[in-house]
Structure 1
Amino acid sequence: MSTKLPTEADILRPIQNTSKKYFILFGAAALALGIFLVGWMYQLSEGMIVTGLSDWGSSGGSPWGVYIGAFIWWVGIAHGGIILSAAVRLLGMDRYMPVARLAELLTIGGLSAAGFYIIVHMGRPDRMVTSVLGHYHITVNNSPLVWDVTVITAYFVLTATYLSLTIRYDITRLRDELPDRFEPFYKFMTIGYTEKEDEVIERMVWWIALAIIIMAPLLLHGGVIPWLFSLIPTMPAWAGAIQGPQFLTIALTSAISGVIILSYAFRWAYDWDHIITDDVFRGLTLWLGFFSLLFIWLQLHQVIDGSFLATASKTHATEAKVSNPFYLIPIATVTGVLAYIFAQAIRPSLFSKKRAIAISFLVLGSTLVEKTFFVVEGLLHPEFSMYEAVPGVYVPSLIEFSSILGTVGLVTLMFLVVAKVIPVVELHAVEHMQEGHGPGHESTRESATKPEVSHD
């Protein structure tokens, strides 16, 4: 591990230095987003018929597919990211301070991508105004769509507030080194700032982190979104109280994988070996293993519950699931990742950052396939079918596949732009490491119920 201490110049490097690799990545991300936007324009022109989606009835198929599966995936990444950041602040997990803001920004990006999917899947963007906003006071009581919009909006505002409070400190102290072209933004973000507010902001952020930890299992990816599936008894593949914790574990595995990839990318690009250390990657990999274990364990519960003395419809849905490669391959992949992490814990020499990146990509791909399969398979095996003679078939279209690359490009562009405006590593993290605590130090709280004010 490097003994070099981080400096303010280190975290300013992404803002001040722009390489050819930056422009290449920016161009690739913009191209990916552009390809999807072209496909979306074609979809708007010709209608949803150009996708692999279709209504139930004589046409067979499934009305939900990649769009909804990827929506759940992005929401999970977003919620898991902010939970990780909140845990760092709330529990004093100082080892992960250098990646806390990356997790917060991942939440903003994930929620933006998820919100975009809602608009895309509605078929006509104007329905967001005519069907949702215009009749919100009526539809909020009984519309799953409006519940999704409400939850995403609430969490976006909460996360944006959380992030805005923490960057005031950084902008004020680093202002002389920040680019003048963003002066209006910096002035807006630091309106009324005084050093006296630091203690108040620290307490506010602590309480917001506490609210996030409480809300996660109740209203967010452990609550509202899985409730929209688990409370539908006519869909035996969805129904059941286990969907809440299952969604939450998938969210956390996806988010930790995303943070590992982001952390490695910034470390590699800006020589941050002494900021985002190997110890951070080891810790994140172990947490990935823990939540992967919960993910597999809850999947096993669902399979057993659907196989042993279950109703005929649930048994049928379970048999269809466990015989499908689009379910077996993701589960086998996550199980293999779990085995590697377990072996690494026993024999630390097996750890490497490249392996951590590889398994993170495998987990992200597996959770995306599993969520899409969950949505489609649940719709294809309802309790009662009016169209038994028509087999259900769903094949994603190129437009739907391009949406995944497009939203990844969208989130990548967001990181590339934000990294040129504000530090993606908090100044507090640098100050903490400079004071000699080290990135692997775990601070303790005097009280589990009171926030401890600290500027380290």
Structure 2
Amino acid sequence: MSTKLPTEEDILRPLHQTSKKFYLLFGAAALALGIFLVGWGYQLWEGMIVTGLGDWGSGGGSTWGVYIGLFIWWVGIAHGGIILSAAVRLLGMDRYMPVARLAELLTIGGLSAAGFFIIVHLGRPDRMVTSVAGHYHITVNNSPLVWDVTVITAYFVLTATYLSLTIRYDVTHLRDQLPDRLEPIYKVMTIGYTEKENEVVERMVWWIALAIIIMAPLLLHGGVIPWLFSLIPTMPAWAGAIQGPQFLTIALTSAISGVIILSYAFRWAYDWDHIITDDVFRGLTLWLGFFSLLFVWLQLHQVIDGSFLNSVTKTHATEAKVSNPFYLIPIGTVTGVLAYIFAQTIRPSLFSKKRALAISFLVLLSTMTEKTLFVVEGLEHPMFDIYRAIPGVYVPSLIEFSSILGTVGMVTLMFLVVAKVIPVVELHAVEHMREGHGPGPRRAEEPTTGSEVTDD
């Protein structure tokens, strides 16, 4: 591991250096988003009939599909990202300070993508005003859509506040090294800033982090979102108290995978080997293994519960799920990732950052597929299946597939733009690493393994 100490110039490198890699990635992300926007424009023109969605009833099929599956997936990534950042601050997990802001920005990007899917799935964007804003006092008690909008809005405001408080310190202390062309933005970010507020801000950030840790399992991705599914008794594939912890573990698994990918990308692009160290990747990989274990374990609970001593309809829904390759492959993939991480703890030489990157992509693809299947299977196997004679089959359309790449492109563009405006690694992280001459001491709550491996 490199013994070079990080400097302010290191974390400001993305703001001042623009390589061909940046332009290529920007172009690819913009193209992906553009393709989806064209498809969405076609959907707005022709109506939702151009998607693979069908009417639940005599038409058969599924009224929810990729759009809602990806909505849950992005919300999970967002909630998991801010939980990771909050845990770093609240539990003093100093090793992960260099990636805390990446996790916070991932939350902003994930919530933006999730909110975008709500608008896309409404069919007509104006319904956000006519159906939600205009009748909020009526619909808030009964509409899953309004609950979704409420949760996303509240969490977005909470995260934006959390992020902006920490940015003020960085922008003020690095102002002389920041681009002059962005002076108006920096003035807005630091309105009323004084050195006296630093201590107050630290306390505020700590309390917000505590609120996030408490709210996540009770109200957010461990609460409201899974409650919207688990409390519908006519959908046996959804019903059950296990959905809360299941959603939360999938959220954390997906978020850690996303942070690993972002960390690898920034380290590779800006030579941050001495900032985002091998130790950080090793620790994140072990946490990925821990939450993957919980994910697989809770899936096992669902399968056993649905297969034995249950209602005929829930047993039927479970049998359909466990015989579907779109369920077996993701679960098998996560199990394989778990086996690799376990083997890595026994034989540390098996670890490498490229392998960590690869398994992170596999986990994200698996959780995305599982969430989409969860949504579709719940609708295709209702309690009262009175239209069995006219079965409907849901097959995602090209527009829906393009929405996957489109929202990934949108979040990628956000990171590329943000990296040109503010440091994506906190100044506090650099100061801490310099004071401690490294990424910080190992703590009891962090998993540890053997010797470092530096291969890329």
TM-score range, shorter chain: over 0.9
Q: 2:374 and 2:58 mapped to 1: Cα distance? A: 23
Which residues of 2 match residues 48-197 of structure 1 at below 5 A? 48-197=48-197
Residue 224 of structure 1 corresponds to 224
- Displacement after TM superposition at 1:401 (Å): 0.2
- Contact 2:2/2:273 (CA < 8 Å) preserved in 1? yes
Q: Deviations over 1:336-391 (max 9, x none)?
A: 00000000011100000000000000000000000000000010000002312111
- Displacement after TM superposition at 1:444 (Å): 9.0
Are 1:414 and 2:414 an aligned pair?
Answer: yes
Q: Deviations over 1:307-338 (max 9, x none)?
A: 11111111101111111101000000000000
- Contact 2:5/2:437 (CA < 8 Å) preserved in 1? no
- Contact 2:96/2:280 (CA < 8 Å) preserved in 1? yes
Q: 1:385 and 1:341 mapped to 2: Cα distance? A: 42
Residue 448 of structure 1 corresponds to none
Residue 202 of structure 2 corresponds to 202
Residue 433 of structure 1 corresponds to 433
- Displacement after TM superposition at 1:437 (Å): 4.9
Q: 1:277 and 1:398 mapped to 2: Cα distance? A: 40
Please list every run of 5 or more consecutive structure 1 residues that lacks an aligned counterpart in the other structure: 446-456
- Displacement after TM superposition at 1:12 (Å): 0.3
- Aligned-residue CA RMSD in angstroms? 1.0
- Contact 1:280/1:440 (CA < 8 Å) preserved in 2? no
SS in 2 for 1:201: helix
Q: Deviations over 1:67-93 (max 9, x none)?
A: 000000000000000000000000000
Which residues of 2 match residues 321-400 of structure 1 at below 5 A? 321-400=321-400
- Contact 2:3/2:438 (CA < 8 Å) preserved in 1? no
- Contact 1:77/1:251 (CA < 8 Å) preserved in 2? yes
Q: 1:244 and 1:57 mapped to 2: Cα distance? A: 28
Q: 2:138 and 2:217 mapped to 1: Cα distance? A: 26
Are 1:295 and 2:310 an aligned pair?
Answer: no
Residue 45 of structure 2 corresponds to 45
- Displacement after TM superposition at 1:180 (Å): 1.1
The AA in structure 2 aligned to 1:104 is E
Q: 1:162 and 1:58 mapped to 2: Cα distance? A: 48
Residue 2 of structure 1 corresponds to 2
Residue 454 of structure 1 corresponds to none
- Contact 1:236/1:382 (CA < 8 Å) preserved in 2? yes
Q: 1:32 and 1:250 mapped to 2: Cα distance? A: 26
- Contact 1:92/1:444 (CA < 8 Å) preserved in 2? no
Residue 12 of structure 2 corresponds to 12
Q: 2:440 and 2:205 mapped to 1: Cα distance? A: 22
Residue 281 of structure 1 corresponds to 281
Q: 2:440 and 2:332 mapped to 1: Cα distance? A: 32
Residue 423 of structure 2 corresponds to 423
- Displacement after TM superposition at 1:436 (Å): 2.1
Q: 1:413 and 1:19 mapped to 2: Cα distance? A: 15
Cα separation, partners in 2 of 1:333 and 1:443, compared to 1, 3 Å: closer
- Displacement after TM superposition at 1:392 (Å): 2.6
Are 1:247 and 2:234 an aligned pair?
Answer: no
SS in 2 for 1:435: helix
Residue 270 of structure 2 corresponds to 270
State the TM-score, normalizing by the size of structure 2. 0.97
- Contact 1:76/1:252 (CA < 8 Å) preserved in 2? yes
Residue 318 of structure 1 corresponds to 318
Number of aligned pairs?
Answer: 445
Q: 2:56 and 2:349 mapped to 1: Cα distance? A: 53
- Displacement after TM superposition at 1:442 (Å): 4.3
Q: 1:64 and 1:444 mapped to 2: Cα distance? A: 44
Q: 2:386 and 2:173 mapped to 1: Cα distance? A: 66
State the TM-score, normalizing by the size of structure 1. 0.97
Identity of aligned residues (%): 89
Q: 2:444 and 2:298 mapped to 1: Cα distance? A: 32
- Displacement after TM superposition at 1:57 (Å): 2.4
Q: 2:253 and 2:177 mapped to 1: Cα distance? A: 37
Q: 2:350 and 2:284 mapped to 1: Cα distance? A: 15
- Contact 2:69/2:372 (CA < 8 Å) preserved in 1? yes
- Contact 2:99/2:276 (CA < 8 Å) preserved in 1? yes
- Contact 1:279/1:440 (CA < 8 Å) preserved in 2? no
- Contact 2:140/2:147 (CA < 8 Å) preserved in 1? yes
Q: 2:302 and 2:444 mapped to 1: Cα distance? A: 38
The AA in structure 2 aligned to 1:322 is V
- Contact 1:236/1:381 (CA < 8 Å) preserved in 2? yes
Q: 1:180 and 1:261 mapped to 2: Cα distance? A: 31
Q: Deviations over 1:138-190 (max 9, x none)?
A: 11011000000000000000000000000000000000110111111100110
Residue 261 of structure 2 corresponds to 261
Moved over 3 A (4+): 442-445
Cα separation, partners in 2 of 1:108 and 1:390, compared to 1, 3 Å: same
Residue 234 of structure 1 corresponds to 234
